[in-house]
Amino acid sequence: MSEAAIDSPALGAWLEANVAGFTPPFNLTKFDFGQSNPTYRVRAASGDYVLRRKPSGSLLPSAHAVDREYRLLGGLFPLGFPVPRPFALCEDAGVIGSIFYIMELARGQSYANGALPQFDPATRGRIYGQLVDTLADLHTIDPAAAGLGDFGKPGNYFERQVARWTRQYRDSETDYLPEMERLIAFLPESLPEQARVAIVHGDYRIDNVLFDGDGTLAAVLDWELATLGDPLADFSYLAMQWVMPADGASGLSGLDLEALGIPTLEEIAGRYSARSGVDVAAHLDWYFAYNLFRLAAIVQGIKKRVIDGTASSTKAAEMAKRVPELSAAAWRCAQAAGVMMKFVEE
């Protein structure tokens, strides 16, 4: 089943009734990005907006929580954190076939190539500095002050997350992958101690952040996986950019970072720790293994939706092919973490 068409008259009536200042006529254009939640640009007489909805069809439990995204934006925006202004949430799936929310259209550009070839070294350094500082600032926000004190469950964050992504993977499993089986056994038996409780983005990377024309950070997007948890989950996910091979995507490994003006992994770790007060673990292999495992489970979910015919993005089929390579990379990191833990114990 393909993504259902939106009933424009029904949507228009709802927008006029629920979004302050909204004025028709309007039209919808689906963005190509958004592997999980279909995202649309709403061009109206009153201006431009963004609509984020749950996809159609059978969905995995706890996935596609656009209502949580909306609540998160509503907590962070009044504090001055760079997120789009949320306007309204529709919890009535009868309007367009699924729940959705409306937010402002954030202006700016995202950059998929981590080498940032369009900028000079000084601007690259400033962009990465802002990327790290903004994440650190997120992790210093008191969840209660943002009205998000109950946004996550108590207990060890990584324990919950490993269990969650194991369930998600099992619910969408299509092939037997030995590395995933090994990870499912290894990760729960090797959990690190939690650094502290903070608001975590869950998918913080350079192409989920918008910058204006001169390289000033304008907005952080895609909060679907946000919760309360261990800030090192976010930092280590961002840090994977420095260990992934440079291939025109976000990876930086193998590049002359000094010549490019891009800080090293050690430099961003120090900068993040100083600003957030969270000490970055000396050995990040376990965190890399966890993040790659989680990413493999997410991509497996996309693969299952491709098979079921409910995938949102036109790039979903290509993305779905990455599950084996992600699981293999995760297991290599887990092996390195296991060797290091054994060394420390001895």
Q: What is the pLDDT of residues 195-254, one digit of tens each?
A: 899 999 999 999 999 999 899 999 999 999 999 999 999 999 999 999 999 989 999 999
Contact criterion met (CB below 8 Å) for 32 and 112 = no
Q: What sign for the dihedral angle of Cα 78, 146, 225, 338?
A: positive
d(CA 85, CA 74): 8
d(CA 221, CA 73): 10
The vertex-233 CA angle with 219 and 65, nearest 5°, equals 60
pLDDT tens column, 131-171:
999 999 999 999 999 999 999 988 899 999 999 999 999 99
pLDDT at 79: 97
Name the pairing type of β-strands 26-30 and 47-53.
unpaired
**Residue 309: other Cβ atoms inside 10 A:** 11
d(CA 115, CA 176): 35
Contact criterion met (CB below 8 Å) for 152 and 229 = yes
pLDDT at 343: 42
Mean pLDDT of 40-60: 86
Q: Which of 5, 6, 9 is nearest to 17 (CA)?
A: 9
pLDDT tens column, 90-128:
999 999 999 999 999 999 999 999 999 999 999 999 999
**Residue 183: other Cβ atoms inside 10 A:** 27
Q: Which residues contact 284 (CB under 8 A, 6 or more apart)?
A: 236, 239
Q: In what order do the strands lie in the sheet with 26-30?
A: 26-30, 39-44, 47-53, 100-104, 86-90
pLDDT tops 60 at residue 35 = no
Going along the chain from its start, the domains and CATH numbers come out as 8-104 (3.30.200.20), 121-345 (3.90.1200.10)
pLDDT at 346: 41
pLDDT tops 70 at residue 342 = no
d(CA 38, CA 42): 13
Contact criterion met (CB below 8 Å) for 271 and 235 = no
Phi, psi dihedrals of residue 216, rounded to the nearest 5°: -95, 130
d(CA 10, CA 337): 53
Average pLDDT, the chain: 91
pLDDT tops 90 at residue 177 = yes
pLDDT at 1: 34
3-class secondary-structure state, position 87: strand
pLDDT tops 50 at residue 28 = yes
Helical residues (DSSP H) of the chain, grouped into ranges: 8-18, 66-76, 121-140, 157-172, 178-186, 231-243, 257-260, 265-276, 285-308, 316-320, 323-345
Q: Which residues contact 181 (CB under 8 A, 6 or more apart)?
A: none
Q: Which residue, chain included where needed, has tokens 């402002």?
A: 104
pTM above 0.85, yes or no: yes
Furthest C-alpha separation in the chain? 70
d(CA 228, CA 237): 16
pLDDT tens column, 320-330:
788 999 999 99
Termini Cα distance of the chain = 55
Q: Using the 8-state DSSP alphabet, how is residue 173 labeled?
A: -
d(CA 87, CA 158): 32
Structure tokens at 261: 């003006």
